[in-house]
Amino acid sequence: MTEAASGSGDKAFDGQIALVTGASRGIGAATALALAAAGAHVVLTGRDTKALETVEEQIFEAGGSATIAPVDLVEPDGIARLASAVSQRWGKLDILVINAAILPELTSVADIDQRAFNKALTTNVLASQALIANFDPLLRKSQDARVIGMTTTVAGAPRAFWGAYGATKAALEVLLACYAQETEKTSKIRVAIVNPGATRTAMRARAYPGEDPATVKPAADVADRLMSLLSENFPSGHRESLNHSR
């Protein structure tokens, strides 16, 4: 891991450690920037080291602090090594934002490519469970631990040709909801499931190549809402959708 740091002021999340997956671009990058601006030390994870370094530099230039931890979430033991590094450096985790995801090709259920589906299941579901499993001990050491998992409209409202992606996100929602119930009375961990709705991201552009990006909200708008939510005393298991757009 490499680190950038600067001075901090009287900010809402001073002293808090946040981990954001998929932090190299889109909603993940915007959320990481917002968390750092609010005083949190942000651990940036993703596969694209150069993109992570760009986000880290933006955080540094704005007076925040961050550590980049390039890791492929599907890599064997990658998440365990990351958790060990965070434990040794800070001994706790206050905020976990599960944002990284893969969008498989949009196709009928009968035509789903098994290899691509397996990769999406591994990234969107298995890696998310591994994040929870490996960081649960560190979350329990926080005085106000919060876990936010990003989902999608098609997880709860199935749509033709979105079966592969929707199935992975539906599975993620179940894992997060169960984790919320399991930890509600035995820890200070609170879990929220957030559907960002139509947002200007690279994934969105792949799914809707003919769409004018200007017609959907920027990722920074989602980050703003996540920051507000993280500041609220929301009940564990909280769910919300930022809009009902496709």
Domains, the chain, ordered by start: 13-237 (3.40.50.720)
- Give the pTM: 0.93
Give the separation between CA 60 and CA 98, rounded to whole angstroms: 23
Contact 179, 173 (CB under 8 A): no
Residues serving a catalytic function are 165
pLDDT of residue 64: 97
pLDDT of residue 245: 42
DSSP state of 168: H
Q: Is 146 helix (H, G, I), strand (E, B) or coil?
A: strand
Q: What share of the chain is helix, strand, coil (3-state, %, to 5)?
A: 45, 15, 35
- Residue 98: beta bridge partners? 149
Contact 187, 140 (CB under 8 A): yes
pLDDT of residue 8: 41
pLDDT of residue 6: 45
**Reported confidence tier of residue 179, pLDDT bands at 50, 70, 90:** very high
DSSP state of 240: E
Find the helix packing angle between 26-37 and 219-231, rounded to 10°: 50
pLDDT of residue 74: 84
Q: Where are the beta strands (DSSP E) in 7-150?
A: 17-20, 41-46, 65-70, 95-98, 146-150
Query: Do strands 146-150 and 190-195 pair parallel, antiparallel, or not at all (unpaired)?
Result: parallel
pLDDT digits (tens, 9 = 90+) for 3-42: 554 444 458 999 999 999 999 999 999 999 999 999 999 9
For residue 31 the two structure tokens come to 């959320």
pLDDT of residue 1: 67
